[in-house]
Amino acid sequence: MRTLQLSVLGMLFAVGLFAVGDDLSDAQVQDIIHKFAAKEAEFAAARDNYTYRQSVKVHELDEGRNVAGRYEVVQDIIFTSDGKRTERVVHAPVSTLRRIILTPEDEQDLRNVQPFVLQTKDLDKYYIRYLGKQTLDEIPCYTFAVKPKQMEKGERYFAGMVWVDDVDLQIVKTYGRGVGLQRKNYDNQFPKFETYRQQIDGKYWFPTFTIANDVLMFRNGPVPIKMVVRYDDYRQFGADTTITFGEQVVDDTPQQEPPPEQKEP
C-alpha cells in the first residue's frame, strides 16, 4: 500500500519543479491521458459502491486571521436497506458565518469538483496540457494542467493541476479551484484548494483530505477563509455488509437566501 503524505508547504514549494529531459512524444502523452482517464472511470464506478463519512468545516477569518464565524456539517454517505445511495447528516451545528454563505455552487464543488475525477467521458470537456514528471513523497507522477474548454449554465468544472501516479495511472493529488458561469447579480467567489488521495484498498486512490486557505475577493472587500474536508472510514458495500453510524440529525434552522452581492467558498 502506498500513500501520499506530502505536506501543503512542501507541495507549494515543489510546484514547478519538474523532471529535466522529460521528452515524451505527443502520442505518448495522449496515450497516458486516455489510460489514466479509463482508470479514473473504473475508480468512479468503484467509489459508488463505498460508504464513507464526509466532514466539512469552513472558518471565516477576521483581519488578524482569527476565527470570526464557523460552518460545520458531518454526513455519512450510505446505502438504504434496499440498496439506494443516500446521505445522512449526523452533526450540523448552527452556522455562525456572518459575511459569507454557502451556495448551491459550493455544494456542487464539495460533491464533484474538490474530489475531482477525470473520466474518459469528460475528456472532451477539458484542455489537458502535460507539464512533466514530478515526484510527490517518493511517488513519481505525470503532471497535467487542466481547464474547461467551455462552460455551460448550471455546471461546475475544475481548473488547475493534477498529479497522476505513473504506475497506477490514477490521480493522487489535485490543486486548483471550482469554476463555472456566474449567476446574474451574484458575486460568487471560490477558493483554491488542494485534495490529497490515499490508496485505500490496494487498487484505487480515494480522496481523503481537502484543504483551502484563501482570501475571497468580493466586490465589497476581501474575506479570508479556511476550509477543511475529510473523507473517512471507506467501506465497500455488499450484500452481507451492515453499516451503522450515528443518529440522523435534522437541522430545522430557517434557511437564508444568499445575499445578492456575496457568498462563500
Tell me if 104 is assigned to some domain. Answer: yes
Whether 237 and 243 have beta carbons less than 8 Å apart is answered as yes
Beta strands 85-91 and 67-79: pairing type?
antiparallel
Query: Binning pLDDT at 50, 70 and 90, where does residue 263 land?
Result: low
Whether 92 and 110 have beta carbons less than 8 Å apart is answered as no
Q: How far is residue 181's CA from residue 104's CA, in Å, rounded to a whole number?
A: 13
Identify which of 249, 109, 76, 102 has the alpha carbon closest to the alpha carbon of residue 176: 109
pLDDT average, residue stretch 122-139? 96
Tell me if 1 is assigned to some domain. Answer: no
Q: How far is residue 94's CA from residue 239's CA, in Å, rounded to a whole number?
A: 37
Provide the 10 A C-beta neighbour count for residue 185. Answer: 7
Tell me if 40 is assigned to some domain. Answer: yes
Tell me if 86 is assigned to some domain. Answer: yes
Tell me if 13 is assigned to some domain. Answer: no
Amino acid making up residue 168 = D
Tell me if 35 is assigned to some domain. Answer: yes
Bridge partners of residue 223, in order along the sequence: 216
pLDDT tens-digit series, residues 167-222: 999 999 999 999 999 888 889 999 999 999 999 988 999 999 999 999 999 998 99
* Residues whose CB is less than 8 angstroms from the CB of residue 9 and which lie 6 or more positions away in sequence, other chains included: none
Domain that holds residue 160: 23-236
Q: What is the pLDDT of residue 186?
A: 85
Whether 138 and 3 have beta carbons less than 8 Å apart is answered as no
pLDDT average, residue stretch 130-157? 96
More confident residue, 75 or 183: 75
DSSP, residue by residue, 116-162? ----GGGGGGEEEEEEEEEEETTEEEEEEEEEES---TT--EEEEEE
pLDDT tens-digit series, residues 37-72: 999 999 999 999 999 999 999 999 998 899 999 999
Tell me if 252 is assigned to some domain. Answer: no
Q: What is the pLDDT of residue 201?
A: 87
Amino acid making up residue 185 = N
Beta strand residue intervals within the chain, DSSP E: 50-61, 67-79, 85-91, 126-136, 139-148, 157-165, 171-179, 193-199, 205-218, 221-236
Whether 14 and 183 have beta carbons less than 8 Å apart is answered as no
Least confident of 32-36, 98-102, 237-241, 250-254: 250-254
Tell me if 126 is assigned to some domain. Answer: yes
Count of domains observed in the chain:
1
More confident residue, 241 or 114: 114
